[in-house]
Homo-oligomer: A and B are copies of this chain.
Amino acid sequence: MSRADCLARDVTDPLAHARDRFSLPNNTIYLDGNSLGAMPKAAPAVLQAVAAQQWGNDLIRSWNTHNWVSMPQRIGGKIAALLGAQSNEIVATDSTSVNLFKLLAGWLQNVQMSDDPARCFILCERGNFPTDVYIADGITKLFTDRFEIKFVDSAAQLDAQIDATTAIVMLTQVDYRSGQLHNMAALNAKAQAAGTVILWDLAHSAGAVPIHLNADGAKLAVGCGYKYLNGGPGAPAFAYLAQELHGQFPSAIQGWFAHAKPFAFHGQFNPASDAARLLCGTPPVLSMAALECGVDTFAGIDMQQVREKSSALSALFLQYMEPLCAQYQFSLFSPHASELRGSHLSYAHVHGYAIMQALIAQGVIGDFREPNLLRFGFTPLYTRFADVWDAVAILKEIMASRAYEASEFNQRAVVP
């Protein structure tokens, strides 16, 4: 496929119109929406209204008149619609890390009470995103070693390890480095048969791949607001609690917004009857308003079309990269088959860090992950086929000219 073919494909792309929902800088090919989603065009005006009008002018009354008070449920309901859940099963709240803690601690409290000491393992992939592992590790200390993390080294080993010793399984649906995609339905069925559940981290899958939480038997999940959901830097995250658990799930961090009647100021904690029991403190309204703009970029979008375009974009990237892999020693770190991947591709290269800096300097923004991975995310709402062509063309030029050897590209800096 030539560049002209890519341009032609962009013209017939059924999602091409969605790009207009975003504000994107000129001369930039943004392949990092898997880390920070692009800004919805609506966001600045919405923030302006929430600040100047609602906060500045209407002040405290806005909790009612502008419905600040129900933002966690309203935005959660929109996310639920996107993920195949009911509106009272998801709330937008806190960070992914805090939500992981709440769901893990809540479930393990129930396991502890059920008096089945054999169920002692938190099953987890060794390569899981660090915060997931750290949170689980912290919880083992809080429960004074009643539970223990059991790592598996690869997804293939998971199936054999889910058994009557499993207290909970904690999985990230799409791996943050390789992009490997788990089969949610099959693993949930396996967990259910073993009398346990999977806590899904949807950070790299919500908004990227079609998700059917209810239909695929998911009971617990968290996800990120600032990646594919385009909710803004550090946007509030979300938490999913399946209806069947609503009556019995402890609010591990019992904040007032988790109360059935937060503003009655009751002395006793009486949790909300649905996923609102996973709320905690007062919602950060400004960040919530931006998150809602992000979630709204999916209005009317068919997630199946998103998946098809994501697969097509990454297939094209893979194809264009083949000669570079041969000539310049890039090595594909992601699964080759599209059905085994989320919406990003990672390549290992000994000069990975410097090459990514050189790409960014040329306007191609991907990111780098330790120890040597270049990561490229494809966000079908705003990535074009021609962007893929251009990105690889620029990379080829950088490799041919060895531009990445410049000292400026070898200064390490931190990026989440």
Contact = CB atoms under 8 A, between A and B. Distances in A.
B416 A263 contact: yes
A14 interface: no
Most buried by B among A266, A269, A281: A281
A64 B287 contact: no
A253 B60 contact: no
Contacts of A210: none
Contacts of A141: 109, 250
Report copies per complex.
Answer: 2
A60 B35 contact: yes
Contacts of A48: 44, 47-48
A37 to B, nearest CB: 9
A319 to B, nearest CB: 26
B415 A263 contact: yes
A304 to B, nearest CB: 28
Interface residues of A, number: 93
Contacts of A413: 64
A183 interface: no
Nearest to A255: B97
Contacts of A251: 138
Contacts of A62: 233
B55 A39 contact: yes
Contact of A416 (B59, B69, B137, B250): B69
Contacts of A370: 264-265
Contacts of A299: none
B269 A134 contact: yes
Contact of A23 (B56, B133, B254, B369): B56
B285 A232 contact: yes
A413 B94 CA distance: 25
Contact of A51 (B253, B258, B266, B290): B290
B284 A235 contact: yes
10 closest cross-chain pairs (CB), A and B: A95-B281, A138-B254, A97-B255, A97-B281, A233-B285, A131-B256, A39-B56, A284-B287, A134-B269, A134-B254
Given A97-B280, A234-B285, A262-B414, 12 more contacts: A32-B60, A35-B60, A38-B56, A44-B48, A47-B286, A98-B253, A130-B259, A134-B254, A134-B258, A264-B370, A265-B370, A286-B286
10 contacts: A23-B52, A36-B59, A47-B286, A54-B233, A55-B233, A95-B255, A109-B141, A135-B253, A135-B255, A284-B284
Interface of A: 23-25, 28, 30, 32, 35-36, 38-39, 43-44, 47-48, 51-52, 54-64, 68-69, 94-98, 101, 105, 109, 112, 126, 130-131, 133-135, 137-138, 141-144, 226, 232-237, 250-259, 262-267, 269, 280-288, 290, 360, 365, 367, 369-370, 413-416
